[in-house]
Amino acid sequence: MSTLLTNPDYSEEFEDKPLPLNLYDEYDDERDLWIKPRLESLVNGTLTPNQLAIDVDTRITEDTNRKHDELIKRPDPAI
How far is the C-alpha of 68 from the C-alpha of 70, rounded, in Å?
Answer: 5
Mean pLDDT of 24-52: 87
In the chain, what percentage of residues exceed pLDDT 70? 75
Q: Give the confidence band of 41 by pLDDT, cuts at 50, 70, 90.
A: very high
Please report, for the chain, the start and end positions of each structural domain, with discontinuous segments joined by +: 24-73
pLDDT at 30 over 70: yes
Question: 19: closest CA among 47, 36, 43, 54?
Answer: 43
Alpha-carbon span 56 to 37, nearest angstrom: 12
pLDDT at 26: 78
Please report which confidence band the pLDDT of residue 1 belongs to, taking 50, 70 and 90 as the band edges.
Answer: very low
Residue 46 has pLDDT above 70, yes or no: yes
Run of H or E including 39: helix 36-44
* Mean pLDDT within 5-21: 63
